[in-house]
Structure 1
Amino acid sequence: MLAAAPAAARSGEPWEPPTLTTTRYDEDWSNLADPAARTGRWTEDLKYIPLGDDAYLSTGAELRLRNEAYRDNQWGGGPAPNDGYLWMRFVPHADLHVGRVRAFVQPIAAYAVGVRPAASPIDQTRVDLLQGFVDVRLGEAKTGDAAGTGITLRAGRQMLSLGTERLVGTRYGPNVPLAFDGARALVSLDGVKLSLLAVRPVQPGPGTFDDRRSRSKSLWGAYATIPGIGLDLYYLGYRNNAAKFGGRSGRELRHSIGARSFGTAGDWHWNVEGAAQFGHFAGDRISAWTLGTEVGRRFPQAPFAPDAVLRVNVISGDRRRGDGRLNTFNALFPKGKYFGELSPVGPTNIISVNPRVGASVGGGVTASLAGMAYWRYARADGVYDVPGNLVRAAGASRARFIGREVEATLAWQATPELELSTSLSAFMPGTFIRQTGPAKTIGLLGLEANFRF
């Protein structure tokens, strides 16, 4: 058993099991070493398996089935605009702790059925290693804990989730998440969490065990979080030897500096983030920026306890071609479904306004209704998708309005492990889309079953 008594037992406070997240390695189940912390759920024997003095194994898995049915995808201009397909993903993991040394392994089996004209790397990777790393903990603080002082050194393949994943995320919405190969140092400094990283993204291959680290892209930097005052500060460096912007190709070296303020005050909550980018691309100087705001208010005493949120994003684009300056913002490695389940446009050269209302219907059922409106920030630049690919060039259009979108979601937590959800989305094209190509309304119906423990 563990040499030290669990924290909950020492403090006398009841222990709350960790929230299941996309980065499963952040979950700490060591308190289950104390029999008093157990509730008798069948998963507890799998979450904490004692292996002797100061050693234990934690296991878990996710099985997700997701069906997406599109109508007039890419505004009717795609190779298969009325596509419907099934994503299947099985992701087990094993987390071994021996004293201060830890090994985490998470394979993946991801398949797609019905994707036309062919499955992409985010649809299917077959069987491969999603994550596999070793770390060692020095000092008293646990990995990722802001209390105490310590450092965890980690090397191998790992998913990264920084802040609210505006620039670096797990891409968990699509079928194949994003992982990185490299090294990371997680530092705890009595109230400050600091992540130092030097990694390369993993490129999924079409076959089994053929995922490889990118040879052209690399990411490095530092990300600090001060939970006590709700503040993140970060620097991220990025290199892409085969970058493309506005029909041009070349080497990109980009630096991002940013800050995020987040927190709650009574029934109000907020999340505000800004970032500036500089560097060089194909001989041009980079000067780009973004500002994202999210302000919400909960109404716990009202029927269904609604939560109303307003999100506004302003993200720069290239204002003038051929002036030796690139103003197009690069979101690097953002979360997969950035603006919702239907995200035909991504966080580049855009102004977006997104009101949303969520509510708890009861019986483990939650619902939400959201609206989105999108404009181009710069008339000289086009519209990009979430990965940063240009999907509509600016052409001769001077219109800013891209379109508007509505989306409704419904989710049922049927058991602690099983969630069933559905979403219905429609994107109505605006003047810019109508002036530059096919302009039909995009529809998406999503159905999902997710079993996770």
Structure 2
Amino acid sequence: MRFNEDYSALEKDSLGNWYHRLKYKSIGKKAYVSFGGDFRVQYLLMDNEGWNPDLRDDDGFMLTRWLLHADLHLSGNVRVYAELQSALANSRDILLPVEENPLKLHQLFIDYQPFSEIAITFRLGRQEVSYGSTRLISLRDSPNTRRSFDGIKAIYNGGDIKTDMFYLHAVVDKVGIFDDTSSPDLRLWGIFSDMATAKKELHFNFYYLGFYNNNALFYDGAGMEKRHTLAARIFKDRGSWWYDLEGGYQFGSIDSRSISAWSIALATSYHFKSIKYTPEIGIKADLISGDKDNMDNSQQTLNTMFGPGAYFGMAAAIAPSNLMDIHPNVKLFLSEKTMFACDYAFLWRYSTGEGIYRPNMTPFFERNDASSRYIGSQVSGVFSYRANKHVSLLMGMSWFDSGAYLKEVSTGENIVFGFVVAQFKF
């Protein structure tokens, strides 16, 4: 999130180049303005999107996105941040707001720090929000249009302890110019706390999330959803051995149906720094509850709410709900600037009582009478090249081999997906 960048250290840079002058322009005592942005272009080729042979793609399509921001610090305790976003989908027959949104006011908020002795900031306005491992609250950087919210947040930064309290309305993306609206029917509130050990090697996250959706839709029917999430996470992201363990429980109601859902996620890897190409070998696994019976008065479906658009890779665009999965993976650091990553994911339904969900948490298929658990497997490979702090390139391919479940509820065509991405940040 670009608003976390701090260029105040350039105040004493009297010999700064044009880029430094762009990132820091003094306009008074303790007042300055900073400008920045990024441009991303993606070429994507996908056959049998959504396991549907009618969506065969012969020549691919292109997604482009501009983000331009201005960060105005009026004093040591007042700040205004603004950002425009333009996302375009070329050669797409059906335009979706997550891919096409020609021009929108993506962020506009004001920060106010009322106390010099207490590290607390109040933020009001339109803003990006991302927490924890981003399984439930994410920026949605894929496929094209990033997500934002309207609301208020209190931010405490006490060094080793950082805590946010917030009340937000989701911004609904639309395929038009400056037509996005704050939704009264889609709300999020809660508290998120990150606690770190003295050397920052070990982190603990504890959080509560409240969620309201006036128009929720699940396999067992539609209704007004009021959901609460309690979760905890522990992760280590330094040294040769890395791990991330997260678990959560959800409760509440959907009309007259009660909610009781849960998830456990584990990711771990080891970096062999003394071997050629310093390989990093890891494994990820998830257990995510699903509804046992569509005809009863309770529901066990985990709602990912505002999760990422491509949690299991862009080829298999499904939400992490009603799933069991395991992902062995490896990374090879071919040079200081080049890396190759390979991931092999195996996916099953946790409960045969319901199907799988799209990333926006709507049912993927109309049929819900399949008996098979096995969804399929996906192998993916990605080359990444970071030329410098401004330019990065990605190239990759995925193949999804449809399992017995997909062949029961659809034609079960295998998905082939390839992409090339170039991004420039300043």
Taking structure 1 as the reference length, the TM-score comes to 0.89
Pair 1:163 & 2:163 matched: no
Pair 1:27 & 2:5 matched: yes
Alpha carbons of 1:164 and 1:264: their partners in 2 closer, same or farther (altered >3 Å)?
closer
* Pick aligned residue for 1:410 from 355, 359, 383: 383
Alpha carbons of 1:315 and 1:82: their partners in 2 closer, same or farther (altered >3 Å)?
farther
Asked if the contact 1:383/1:394 (under 8 Å) is kept, the reply is: no
Pair 1:138 & 2:114 matched: yes
Q: For residue 154 of structure 2, what is the aligned residue in structure 1? A: 185
**Which segment is superposed worse, 156-165 or 357-366?**
357-366
Pair 1:128 & 2:104 matched: yes
**Residues 42-121 of structure 1: pairs in structure 2 closer than 5 A:** 42-77=18-53, 79=55, 84-99=60-75, 100-116=77-93, 118-121=94-97
Q: Deviations over 1:184-210 (max 9, x none)?
A: 110124531110110011111111110
Distance 1:129 1:98 in 2: 21
Asked if the contact 1:71/1:83 (under 8 Å) is kept, the reply is: no
Offset of residue 48 of structure 1: 1.3
Distance 2:106 2:254 in 1: 31
Distance 2:139 2:153 in 1: 16
> What amino acid sits opposite 1:448 in the alignment?
V
Alpha carbons of 1:32 and 1:376: their partners in 2 closer, same or farther (altered >3 Å)?
same
Asked if the contact 1:343/1:386 (under 8 Å) is kept, the reply is: no
Asked if the contact 1:150/1:187 (under 8 Å) is kept, the reply is: yes
SS at match of 2:114: strand
SS at match of 2:408: helix
Distance 1:205 1:398 in 2: 38
Offset of residue 215 of structure 1: 2.7
Offset of residue 321 of structure 1: 2.0
Q: For residue 239 of structure 1, what is the aligned residue in structure 2? A: 212
SS at match of 1:44: helix
**Which segment is superposed worse, 301-310 or 279-288?**
301-310
Offset of residue 172 of structure 1: 0.8
Q: For residue 10 of structure 1, what is the aligned residue in structure 2? A: none
Offset of residue 387 of structure 1: 1.7
Distance 2:351 2:17 in 1: 55
Offset of residue 79 of structure 1: 4.9
**Which segment is superposed worse, 265-274 or 72-81?**
72-81
* Pick aligned residue for 1:297 from 270, 278, 283: 270
**Residues 244-283 of structure 1: pairs in structure 2 closer than 5 A:** 244-246=217-219, 248-264=221-237, 266-283=239-256
Q: For residue 439 of structure 1, what is the aligned residue in structure 2? A: 412
Distance 1:441 1:42 in 2: 50
* Pick aligned residue for 1:175 from 126, 134, 144: 144
Asked if the contact 1:242/1:249 (under 8 Å) is kept, the reply is: yes
Asked if the contact 1:380/1:394 (under 8 Å) is kept, the reply is: no
SS at match of 1:390: coil
> What amino acid sits opposite 1:101 in the alignment?
V
Offset of residue 342 of structure 1: 2.2
> What amino acid sits opposite 2:298 in the alignment?
R
Asked if the contact 1:72/1:82 (under 8 Å) is kept, the reply is: no
Asked if the contact 1:135/1:154 (under 8 Å) is kept, the reply is: yes
Alpha carbons of 1:287 and 1:394: their partners in 2 closer, same or farther (altered >3 Å)?
farther
Offset of residue 52 of structure 1: 1.7
Q: For residue 19 of structure 1, what is the aligned residue in structure 2? A: none
* Pick aligned residue for 2:120 from 136, 151, 161: 151
> What amino acid sits opposite 2:370 in the alignment?
S
Distance 1:245 1:81 in 2: 30
Offset of residue 393 of structure 1: 4.9
Asked if the contact 2:330/2:342 (under 8 Å) is kept, the reply is: yes
Distance 1:341 1:309 in 2: 20
Pair 1:224 & 2:224 matched: no
Pair 1:421 & 2:398 matched: no
Offset of residue 130 of structure 1: 0.6
Q: Deviations over 1:320-376 (max 9, x none)?
A: 222211100000101222122323322010011111111211151111111000000
Distance 1:420 1:310 in 2: 25
Task: Calculate the aligned-residue CA RMSD, in Å.
Answer: 1.7
Distance 2:178 2:33 in 1: 25
Q: Deviations over 1:118-175 (max 9, x none)?
A: 110101111110111111123348xxxxxxx421000110010101211101001221
> What amino acid sits opposite 2:8 in the alignment?
S
Distance 2:57 2:222 in 1: 28
> What amino acid sits opposite 2:194 in the alignment?
T
| Number of residue pairs aligned between Structure 1 and Structure 2 | 421
SS at match of 2:122: strand
Asked if the contact 2:370/2:405 (under 8 Å) is kept, the reply is: yes
Pair 1:450 & 2:423 matched: yes
Offset of residue 180 of structure 1: 0.3
Offset of residue 75 of structure 1: 1.1
Asked if the contact 1:75/1:441 (under 8 Å) is kept, the reply is: yes
Q: Deviations over 1:212-271 (max 9, x none)?
A: 011311000000110224100000000011101115111000000000101146410111
Asked if the contact 1:111/1:123 (under 8 Å) is kept, the reply is: yes
Identity of aligned residues (%): 29
> What amino acid sits opposite 2:97 in the alignment?
P
> What amino acid sits opposite 1:97 in the alignment?
H
Distance 1:72 1:188 in 2: 47
Alpha carbons of 1:393 and 1:327: their partners in 2 closer, same or farther (altered >3 Å)?
farther
Pair 1:313 & 2:247 matched: no
Distance 2:116 2:288 in 1: 41
